Amino acid sequence: MPPRLGVGFSLHPDLEYLTLTREIIENEADYFEVNPEAMWRPSRESVQSGAAGDFARLERNDYHRLFYQIKERSGRPFVAHGLAFSPATPIERDAARTRAWIERLRDDYQSFQFPWMSEHLGWMAIDGLFSVLPLPFLYNNETAAAVSARMRAIAEIVPAAAFENNVAYFHMEDPELEPDYLNRLARESNCHIMLDLHNVYTQCKNNGTSARDYVSRLDLDRVIQIHLSGGADSDAAWLRSGRVMRLDSHDGAIPGEVWNLYEEFLPKCNNIGGVVVERLNATFDASGVPALRDEVRRARDVWRCAFA
């Protein structure tokens, strides 16, 4: 069972963001979530040799030092949330990049002692090609084997590994089957689920399905952390049909429907370690900080009611 950390806050590698949210960082957050890749850069030797992308060796960057200073000064825990380990990619199809990534994560763990690490479910890298966002996958044995191998590789470094339910704007399978397949992945990988409630809300709104039903079908005992965030609706002019899609853009207030899901299902997550309020950097100015602070406080109020 993971430690119960409380309500956390995401740190981004952006000095303006860190300055704007200093009050929240110093006075509101029980712990912090960081993206490991944000603390890396290609090594000088890799740059000099012309190696790049999949074949670059990686080293610490300046944000590694800054985040470590925050850890030391605050005395508060850090957890890791990866963006690009590409859980649904077979390791043998992404071997060089995976080796460099694992080497860095081992070093990060020595510094930050993450109690757990989560990673976006989906695939982003294969055979030297790379996408910006995680792509959907088939609900089959091959995907399960790839995810299991990646989750076990993470679990060899940190005490607990988890995958985050992704947002897909198109599907390779019937989206109604997704919760059951996520349960299978967690079971076969012997790992946890990082439950992003805005991801659920977004995907179900776009599909015309029930977010409440989706969450109720998950094995909530596997949930190690919850993400709370907001988003926006797309511009009707983007699609020829004029259809408006919900976007997981992390640039708006947490919707009421997401708060409702959080309040209902948090008490049923018996092994949860924490909740993180997310907001993308460069999506607000000083006038938006009080509302973001209030979201952290509201998340904490619900947490205390659930686990008083």
In the prediction, which pLDDT does 228 show? 98
CATH of domain 6-307: 3.20.20.150
Question: SS3 letters for 175-201?
Answer: HHHHHHHHHHHHHHHCCEEEEEHHHHH
3-state secondary structure of 209: coil
Work out the mean pLDDT of the chain and round it to a whole number. Answer: 94
Tell me how crowded residue 22 is: count the other CB atoms within 10 A of its CB. Answer: 11
- What pLDDT band is residue 53 in, cutting at 50, 70 and 90? low
- The C-alpha atoms of residue 274 and residue 113 are separated, in whole angstroms, by 16
Q: State pLDDT tens for residues 102-144.
A: 999 999 999 999 999 999 999 988 888 888 888 999 999 999 9
Residues 6 or more apart whose Cβ sits within 8 Å of residue 104: 36, 40, 58, 59
For residues 117 and 162, the answer to whether their CB atoms sit within 8 Å is yes
3-state secondary structure of 241: coil
- The C-alpha atoms of residue 125 and residue 82 are separated, in whole angstroms, by 14
The conformation of residue 156, written as its DSSP 8-state character, comes to T
- The C-alpha atoms of residue 114 and residue 108 are separated, in whole angstroms, by 8
Question: Residue 277 CA to chain centroid, in angstroms?
Answer: 11
Question: Is the pLDDT at 55 greater than 70, yes or no?
Answer: no
In the prediction, which pLDDT does 41 show? 87
Question: Is the pLDDT at 297 greater than 80, yes or no?
Answer: yes
Q: State pLDDT tens for residues 251-271.
A: 999 999 999 999 999 999 999
